[in-house]
Each structure stands twice: as C-alpha cells, then as structure tokens.
Amino acid sequence: MKKGIAIHTILLLVVGLIAVGVISYVVYKSFTSSTLSREECRARIISHCTSCNVAKWCAGPTVGETLANECGQFYSTTILISGADCEAICDFCKGFIPVSSCPASCP
C-alpha cells in the first residue's frame, strides 16, 4: 500500500502554481494603466528642455506623444502639444532649467 504524495505530483503542483502566477501577472500588467508620476514627468520635461537648450532652441527634438499625453495632466496642455518644436516651448522650459534667452525667431 502506497502512502504519501509522489514527487511527480509535487512537481506538477509547483509547475501549476508558477503558471498561474505568470498568467496572473501578465493579466494584471495588461489591465493597469502606465501613467507617469509628477516627478517622472518633471524629469522627462527637464531632459527634453536640456536637449533643446543644447540645440540652441532652433533645432532639436519635438515633444513626443507620450510626453504630451501623460504629462499634460500635470503641466500646461497648451504648451505640451505633441509635435511642438523647441522654439515653441522655450518660455515653458524657463520654469524647469535656467534659460538665458529664447530666440526671437529661428531661420
């Protein structure tokens, strides 16, 4: 007469628990929104403004869709428009980094 639980059964239970855990994690991550915190938005805006400052405000990256959509809730949505160039956000950046002067117009 056999007594106890076979090792095969224990291994199947462990594999089953791991599978349930992985599936639960994937479902949880897919249904939760990934919004940025105020500090993360500030860090991204500072990074973007610094890139524009290095490019002398007449060239450089445009505001990305992620930055505009996810940080618009914390900062002026009229400034953070997706596709805005460095010249358009120069005055906005004065609140985040030291800016000596914004260009009157870019060539």
Structural domain tally of the chain?
Answer: 2
Residue 2 confidence (pLDDT): 64
Residue 78 confidence (pLDDT): 61
Residue span of the structural domain in which 62 resides: 38-93
| Residue 38 zone, left/alpha/beta (φ > 0; ψ -120 to 50; rest) | alpha
The rounded distance, in Å, linking the Cα atoms of 83 and 92 is 15
Residue 15 confidence (pLDDT): 96
Judgement on whether residues 64 and 17 belong to the same structural domain of the protein:
no
Residue 62 confidence (pLDDT): 81
Task: Write down the pTM of the prediction.
Answer: 0.61
Judgement on whether residues 74 and 50 belong to the same structural domain of the protein:
yes
Residue 21 confidence (pLDDT): 96
Over the chain (107 residues), what is each successive 10-residue block's mean pLDDT?
A: 77 96 89 74 88 84 78 71 80 85 77
